[in-house]
């Protein structure tokens, strides 16, 4: 059931700073594009930072469908992968089923493992784990932390009370289980504010910035070489969309905006999509039907360390997400000095202010999106001004990965020092 499990702390066991058990609903270290290493993995940075600091890490995950290379930095344990087994079920059925299956299948394994390992802290990832970590806290006296990677639909407080409850029932129920600490990553969906509104004590909420590769702000990448490697035209302007091609990111709005912008234009403007997902086929079909197959390029996923090259090849970055448009890709564009055009959703304007690093338009207004893109394509001086501003804001505001991980280490150390024995 596990790899490299050290179940005791006898005299012969190596001395470690602390032992942490992480309970996760994800079968691998999260990465957009899987083995392609597209996207940036918070899990991977967490593992690297904590093991370098001397922590012994145990991860409990769903068993993957195919064998994976063991990560020598961690001890990995598994539970049956009911997520994969039931993924084909309709969403309305999965929503109540998955929390119940987690309690039935994963939670007993997590509790036995916590009792066996006696970790200093147990950390749960996502709302699925809150009851499990709470049980370890109450029954075993182990300080508990729940880590949320954003709050998603909880941000939509403008919805009617009935719709809000229906869309967020599982999360609302999950937040009712007390923890010693809640770590929420600032993905632009107002996590700290939302958890306080749900009655969680403010002193237990740790609202942390997302980590970024801030050194990208100083990267010197040849634009012509970048375009050649990506198969993009050497001349003309490139408008970039970089995200998973899924409904919540609304890539079809990007295609609709491209159709409006390119209508009647004969200059060398290309719209490029980097990423993959369920919406790709529909987007490709829409581009063909609009007669834009040669001017809308689908580049697939790229390794995360290639993102600066993608940015260097681009003149504008567009984000149309439902939840927020100040997530990592937008911030990475700003680091690389690429002006952004975004929908005003979630907490977007805390980072992207209209007229400073780009343009912010009303959520869902494709015409306004297309107008803003067309204006910036035609105004090189404005693009250069916004580019310089974007890089400046990024340098001043964004947090490096080492600093972000150190924030988490300090939270865990404080929790260990006071024993995490607060209740309620």
Q: Does domain 214-398 have CATH number 3.40.190.10?
A: no
Q: What is the pTM of this model?
A: 0.83
**Quick check: 22 and 75 in contact, CB under 8 A?**
no
Collect the ranges in the chain with pLDDT lower than 50: 1-13, 31-38, 423
What residues does each domain of the chain span?
2-209, 214-398
- Nearby residues of 188 by Cβ (< 8 Å), 6 or more positions away: 150, 323, 324, 325, 326, 327, 346, 347, 348, 350, 351
2-209 and 214-398: same fold? yes
Q: What is the pLDDT of residue 67?
A: 74
* Alpha-carbon gap, residue 134 to 138, rounded angstroms: 6
**Quick check: 167 and 156 in contact, CB under 8 A?**
yes
* Alpha-carbon gap, residue 50 to 167, rounded angstroms: 35
According to CATH, the superfamily of the domain at 2-209 is: Glycogen Phosphorylase B; (3.40.50.2000)
Q: What is the pLDDT of residue 5?
A: 38
Q: What is the pLDDT of residue 421?
A: 52
Q: Which residue has the tokens 């260990």?
A: 416
| Structure confidence by residue, pLDDT tens digits, 309-355 | 999 999 999 999 998 888 889 999 999 999 999 999 888 888 999 99
């Amino acid at each position: 059931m596990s790899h490299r499990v050290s179940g005791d702390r006898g005299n012969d066991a190596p001395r470690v700073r602390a032992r942490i058990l992480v309970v996760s609903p994800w079968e691998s270290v999260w990465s957009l594009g899987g083995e392609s290493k597209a996207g940036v993995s918070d899990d991977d940075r967490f593992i690297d930072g904590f093991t370098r600091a001397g922590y012994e890490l145990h991860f409990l995950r769903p068993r993957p469908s195919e064998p994976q290379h063991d990560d020598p930095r961690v001890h990995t344990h598994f539970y049956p992968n009911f997520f994969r087994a039931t993924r084909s079920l309709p969403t309305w059925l999965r929503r109540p089923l998955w929390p119940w299956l987690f309690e039935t299948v994963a939670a007993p394994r997590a509790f036995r493992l916590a009792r066996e390992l006696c970790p200093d802290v147990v950390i749960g990832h996502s709302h699925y784990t809150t009851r499990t970590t709470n049980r370890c806290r109450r029954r075993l006296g182990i300080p508990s932390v729940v880590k949320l990677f954003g709050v998603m639909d909880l941000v939509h407080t403008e919805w009617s009370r009935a719709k809000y409850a229906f869309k967020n029932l599982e999360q609302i129920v999950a937040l009712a289980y007390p923890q010693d600490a809640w770590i929420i990553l600032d993905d632009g969906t107002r996590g700290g504010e939302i958890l306080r509104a749900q009655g969680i004590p403010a002193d237990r909420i740790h609202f942390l910035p997302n980590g970024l590769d801030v050194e990208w702000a100083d990267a010197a990448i040849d634009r012509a070489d970048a375009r050649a490697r990506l198969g993009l035209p050497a001349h003309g302007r490139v408008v970039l969309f970089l995200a998973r091609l899924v409904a919540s990111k609304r890539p079809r709005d990007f295609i609709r905006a491209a159709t409006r912008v390119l209508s009647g234009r004969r200059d060398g403007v290309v719209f490029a999509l980097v990423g993959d997902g369920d919406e790709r086929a529909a987007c490709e079909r829409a581009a063909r039907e609009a007669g834009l197959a040669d001017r809308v390029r689908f580049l697939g996923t790229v390794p995360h360390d290639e993102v600066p090259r993608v940015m260097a090849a681009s003149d504008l970055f567009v984000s149309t997400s439902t939840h927020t448009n100040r997530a990592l890709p937008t911030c990475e564009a700003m680091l690389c000095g690429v002006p952004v055009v975004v929908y005003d959703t979630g907490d977007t304007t805390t980072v992207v202010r209209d007229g400073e690093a780009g343009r912010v338009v009303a959520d869902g207004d494709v015409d306004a999106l297309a107008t803003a893109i067309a204006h910036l394509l035609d105004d090189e001086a404005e693009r250069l001004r916004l580019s310089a501003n974007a890089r400046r804001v990024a340098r001043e505001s964004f947090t490096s990965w080492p600093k972000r991980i150190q924030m988490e280490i300090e939270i865990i150390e404080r929790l260990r020092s006071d024993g995490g024995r607060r209740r309620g």
